[in-house]
A and B are shown apart, each in its own frame.
Chain A
Amino acid sequence: MAALPRRIIKETQRLLQEPVPGISAVPDDSNARYFHVIVTGPEDSPFEGGLFKLELFLPEDYPMSAPKVRFITKIYHPNIDRLGRICLDILKDKWSPALQIRTVLLSIQALLSAPNPDDPLANDVAELWKVNEAEAIRNAKEWTRRYAMDN
């Protein structure tokens, strides 16, 4: 294994010591660049009550390039496609090395509270979100119940 950069050691220590409310990010036993993430669906969103599993990977040149994050739990959201890939500017061209794992996960949680159908990744979902928001929200709740709740 390549030597682990101090930046990653520092962020890992802090994530474990001062966890972010509603988010758990645990480094893999054997790979310090891979985090098992669980985000709880924000209150007053269609995702409330759901536990969403994600994977987060810090690439070789992190923090000069953004972490790679994707949802592993199925989710009905205009900015998240069926492979779990997320459309979020800070994960792409708006990345800054001053951002961290914790800020990225907070932004993803915020994206669940505020879907943005005008910048879609899942086109059919975005379309419905624009023309019939009530039905889209019903779908999102149904998917949350089906895929993101344990029982």
Chain B
Amino acid sequence: MGICWCKEKHEESESYFPQSSNDNIDNAIQSVTPYSSAEYYMENTEKGCPDSSIVDKLVLETLGIIGTLVDNEQEPPPSMLRLHNIADNEEGWIQVVKSMVQVIPMLDPLGPSVITLLLDDCPLPSRESVLQVTSMFNLSAQSALVDRPNAPKQRNICVVLGCIAEKLAGPSSLGILTDSTLDYLITNLDMDTDPHVILFSLIALEKFAQTSENKATIIRRLQNEICCPISKLEQWINEEHFVKRQVGFCAQWALDNLFIMTNRKFSYLTVNNSHLNAMLNTSDVSEYLKISPNGLEARCDAYSFESVRCTAQADSGVWYYEVCIITPGVMQIGWATKESNFLNHDGYGIGDDKYSLAYDGCRRLIWYNAKSEPQQLPRWQPGDTLGCLLDIDNQQIIFAVNGKEIPPCTHVFSMARSGFFAAASFMSFQQCHFNFGTEPFKFPPNVEYSKFNDCGVLEPESKKVMPRHIYLDQLRQQSVREDSCTLCYDKKASVRLIPCEHEGFCTSCVGQLTECPMCRSAIHLVVDDNT
């Protein structure tokens, strides 16, 4: 997707400075920084911390530049590397956090994602710095009320709290979630707060709940309120106001998955999915994507690039579905075969391999095989409709935003002629709603086409979108047979390796190996002892 710098990619490099410089990026940087390029790159360890105005500028530069980066293998921009160096000492880390909270504007669609990306790639903060940052914010029920007019700052504080809670799950997360921090977050859930602030307060609570003691504390606190504030927010689930709608989605997800209230029924037990014949596939999705109980809406609040395919497969003919864009950030929505892999932690999703093709209306790019082509449509906005037409007979895919088409794409048909699924990938804090034909289309194409909901078939069991904790409990109770392969524990162990004579593996595992997993000697022959 182009803006994920995962651990893997730095793995072999010893420094965090750009190995090669990119002229365009250099120019962009020099125009706004007082540092000469040489100093900019060479300064190995930051001594102390630069002036806050410099850090503010670097944060804004990173925000500005990050949406334009499209190559997964590309080095991070110099402004981001410089921020990493500044954050290497404790004082610098605190300044970087301060600057992000001060300067990231509310309406930049990449704002919260950039905070997450920067904090995730920065050197690890110590417990003291983290505590110092939270005490610097001076959070309390009182501050939540008094600072309400400064919504962008409050929103950014909540994003930062969520990131820290996730990054430092465990004792440090416990240390930050003091009574006053919790007061602050719960007070923010009041329906009169700016919905952006409510949204990220809710997400912060969710991230704090990754530490089980915190989860228990939050649940106790919610139960003590006269009326659970999250339950109230759940009513916004179908709001026309798209930020409130996100709040409703997250509230419902939290109540189903994390903050389980005794008097509330799980949504998957109350929702009526009988009319569904096609939906997002809960068995074909990366780990952190949230899917709504009605199976048609998805959202990502993790820092990874989460993906999902739908349940119905298209092998011939013409197919169409629509997506309602709920958040304006990076999503890659389109078509994929089962061969397309969800490498969420490496930043690869739909459109990032040879078996999928996607449109990203935030950066206005068509994606195929991790390469992008710019398009001429305006940036998508909440409420826009993305139309996705797959014409297998004529081997073309046509995307349209609010009925305005972009030129047909044909790339993917060199690799696949059938076996297509509607599919999408989501950057952090992105959400959209799928229409596979259960509702009338807003911009139906002028050709004959089929709808997945008319042609798909779903068993009643597979229409259930179960909360993960229930699903995982069921999985963990599965028993494993004693004579199974010691590598996959799935198939029966049946083969012996020659010459080393090690055994206890199945044919499909051994088929993926060139040397013995026990002694590393080369495999010359595989003997099946069952035949």
Contact = CB atoms under 8 A, between A and B. Distances in A.
Which 10 A-B residue pairs are closest in the complex by CB-CB distance?
Answer: A98-B517, A6-B489, A31-B287, A30-B468, A82-B123, A96-B517, A10-B489, A6-B490, A7-B489, A97-B487
Interface of B: 7-8, 10-11, 14, 88, 121, 123-124, 126-128, 167-171, 210, 212, 257, 282-288, 341-343, 345, 468-469, 471-472, 475-476, 478, 480, 484, 486-490, 509, 512-513, 517-518, 520
B124 A74 contact: yes
A4 B128 CA distance: 38
15 contacts: A3-B283, A4-B475, A9-B475, A30-B468, A32-B476, A53-B168, A64-B512, A68-B7, A68-B8, A73-B124, A82-B123, A96-B517, A123-B14, A146-B128, A147-B126
A9 B489 contact: yes
A73 B169 CA distance: 11
Given A53-B169, A85-B10, A123-B14, 9 more contacts: A4-B475, A6-B480, A6-B488, A33-B287, A38-B170, A60-B341, A82-B124, A96-B520, A98-B486
Contacts of A59: 345
Contacts of A146: 126, 128
A31 B288 contact: yes
A70 B478 contact: no
Interface string A24-54: 0000111111101010000000000001010
B123 A10 contact: no
Nearest to A70: B7
Given A6-B480, A72-B167, A147 B475 contact: no
A7 B10 CA distance: 29
Nearest to B481: A6
A136 to B, nearest CB: 17
B140 to A, nearest CB: 25
A147 B170 CA distance: 13
Interface of A: 1-7, 9-10, 12-13, 28-34, 36, 38, 51, 53, 57, 59-60, 63-64, 68, 70-74, 82-85, 96-98, 121, 123, 146-147, 150
A28 B210 contact: yes
A7 B490 contact: yes
A70 B287 CA distance: 19
B421 to A, nearest CB: 14
B518 A98 contact: yes
A150 B487 contact: no
Nearest to A123: B14
Contacts of B509: 97
B517 to A, nearest CB: 4
B124 A13 contact: no
